[in-house]
Structure 1
Amino acid sequence: MSDAIADAKRALRAELRERRQLLTPQAREVAAAGITEQLDALIATHGATSISCFLSTTTEPGTREFVAGAVARGIRVLLPVTRTDGLLDWSVATPDLDIAEGMFGLPEPVGELLGPIAVNDVDLLVIPAAAVDRTGMRLGWGRGYFDKTIGSMERCPPVYAVVFDSEVLDEVPSDLHDQPVSGVVTPTQTIVLAPARR
């Protein structure tokens, strides 16, 4: 990755992180309710019975309510668990989900771990992002876990990134290893994108 792209990513991430910190608890609650509604509709549209999702941090658009509701309806939800080798293990969400702090201070499930290939069976991937642009390029938080996962899947299902409305941008800095997404979910809308294939 060129220094210019790396610098642009760092600067944009810092700005987005700061904006997220400024959101009020009420704004976060409204966003979480909107995300739940949008993701429920997305699952229905795709007829998904097995998905991957993530447990949101306090500054991310809330996904925990959605995960709990999906599990209660019998949908199989795989949650990511970070590994030191840059890959993700997966754990099946349960109604009485135990959550602990993962490697990077992120909320992760406690339970039986399935290996990285477990995600190959899902109908839909729901992943975190800092921002997504209108061509489908996603700016992550810089660790590359989801780019590696998407890039290694033989038959990748639709991939939707979850962001706040203001984080759907005209363009995000990207490099060759960055993987595009199929769409973006915000608290007010779901946008299907035609990703720029590499």
Structure 2
Amino acid sequence: MKRQLDELVARLGARSVSCFLSTPTEPGTHAFVAEAVARGIRVLLPISREDGLLDWSVATPDAEIGEGLFGLPEPVGEVLGPIAVNDVDLLIIPAAAVDQRGMRLGWGRGYFDKTLGSMEKCPPVYAVIFDSELLDDVPRDVHDQPVTGVVTPTRTVPLSAPSA
């Protein structure tokens, strides 16, 4: 997984990215985050808020990881507000599945859809999934936001966004 994410960051020339900390049931992002920070890439990690928005924290080599609002791994440290993500060159987000049109099925809380929908100038957005989670079609709701592509443990797939 780390190799695919490293190649994506290099190809896009990203110097600042947002990335989530994976759970044991998702493709791993922890090694990518640690190495990106070591290489001088600014990595923002999400922190869930009760109001449905995401705060952000800058990843550091010695960052403490705790349990967030929903039991997910989240950084413990200085908290930046929701608009901090507006400065990244690339968003790397979780997904349960993504379809060939770029529609992402999340975990039902809408955090990333709200974030993407509120950004003035959204950079490329790639969802991290297993190869088997790239499907022909996923359910779509009016608030759902498409992704630019997916990153799996074996490949990176650019996708076309659906037409309005």
How would you bin the TM-score normalised by the shorter chain? Answer: over 0.9
Q: Which structure shows the higher helix fraction?
A: 1
What percentage of residue pairs aligned between the two structures are identical? 76
Q: Does 1:59 align with 2:25?
A: yes
Structure label with greater radius of gyration: 1
In the alignment, residue 92 of structure 1 is paired with which amino acid?
Answer: V
Choose from 82, 85, 88 the match for 1:122: 88
Deviation at 1:197, TM superposition (A): 4.0
Deviation at 1:107, TM superposition (A): 0.3
Q: Does 1:178 align with 2:135?
A: no
Deviation at 1:178, TM superposition (A): 0.5
Separation in 1, partners of 2:12, 2:82: 23
In the alignment, residue 112 of structure 2 is paired with which amino acid?
Answer: F
Residue 97 of structure 1 is matched in structure 2 by 63
Residue 9 of structure 1 is matched in structure 2 by none
1:49-198 matches, cutoff 5 A: 49-198=15-164
TM-score (norm 1): 0.82
Separation in 1, partners of 2:48, 2:88: 18
In the alignment, residue 104 of structure 1 is paired with which amino acid?
Answer: F
Could you tell me whether the CA contact under 8 Å between 1:180 and 1:197 is conserved in 2? no
Which secondary structure does the structure 1 equivalent of 2:153 belong to? coil
Which secondary structure does the structure 2 equivalent of 1:89 belong to? strand
Residue 2 of structure 2 is matched in structure 1 by 36
In the alignment, residue 129 of structure 1 is paired with which amino acid?
Answer: A
Q: Residue by residue, what CA displacement relative to the aligned partner does 1:50-104 show, whole Å, maximum 9, x if unpaired?
A: 0000000111100000000000000000000000100000000000010000000
Separation in 2, partners of 1:39, 1:174: 26
Q: Residue by residue, what CA displacement relative to the aligned partner does 1:34-53 show, whole Å, maximum 9, x if unpaired?
A: x1000000000000000000
Dislocated runs of 4+, deviation >6 Å: none
Cα RMSD after superposing both structures: 0.5
Separation in 2, partners of 1:58, 1:183: 22
Which secondary structure does the structure 2 equivalent of 1:146 belong to? helix
In the alignment, residue 73 of structure 1 is paired with which amino acid?
Answer: R
Q: Which structure shows the higher strand fraction?
A: 2
Separation in 2, partners of 1:69, 1:59: 21
Residues paired across the two proteins, number? 164
In the alignment, residue 148 of structure 2 is paired with which amino acid?
Answer: S
Give ranges in structure 1 of 5+ residues lacking alignment.
Answer: 1-34
Q: Residue by residue, what CA displacement relative to the aligned partner does 1:125-162 show, whole Å, maximum 9, x if unpaired?
A: 00000000000000000000000000000000000000
TM-score (norm 2): 0.99
Could you tell me whether the CA contact under 8 Å between 1:53 and 1:126 is conserved in 2? yes
